[in-house]
Amino acid sequence: MLSATSYRRVIKKATRNHDKFFIVLCHNKGDMPPQLGMAISRKNCRTAITRNRIKRIIREVFRHYQAQLTGLDIVVINKPAAALARNNVIAESVKGHFKKCSSIKQKIIKQES
């Protein structure tokens, strides 16, 4: 996602799930390709190296799950614990969130049918 209006739309209409490391907001937008937005704040991750590491891991997991996330806009917001977590722990956390978003999307499709 590139614009502030895209982020606002997702934040306003999103389904939320969270854990110790992240808050993930997802919004169904039909059959469009999935879009990923990240709000990795300096308040929660002091160093640029840490923020970039977290973003790199999130993008990599997103690439693997893109096919399952078709039609979703997703925003990932970090919590302070993410700065101290190991790479594999961050990846597992994000995978779990993406699986939840995918299952929420499936429920919405079933309700519309």
Q: What is the pLDDT of residue 113?
A: 64
What residue ranges define each of the domains in the chain, with the CATH number in brackets? 4-112 (3.30.230.10)
Q: What is the pLDDT of residue 105?
A: 80
C-beta neighbour count of 76 within 10 angstroms: 26
Residue 63 pLDDT > 90, yes or no? yes
Distance CA 65, CA 31 (A): 16
Residue 31 pLDDT > 70, yes or no? yes
pTM above 0.85, yes or no: yes
Q: What is the pLDDT of residue 60?
A: 97
Query: Which residue type, as a one-letter code, is found at position 43?
Result: K
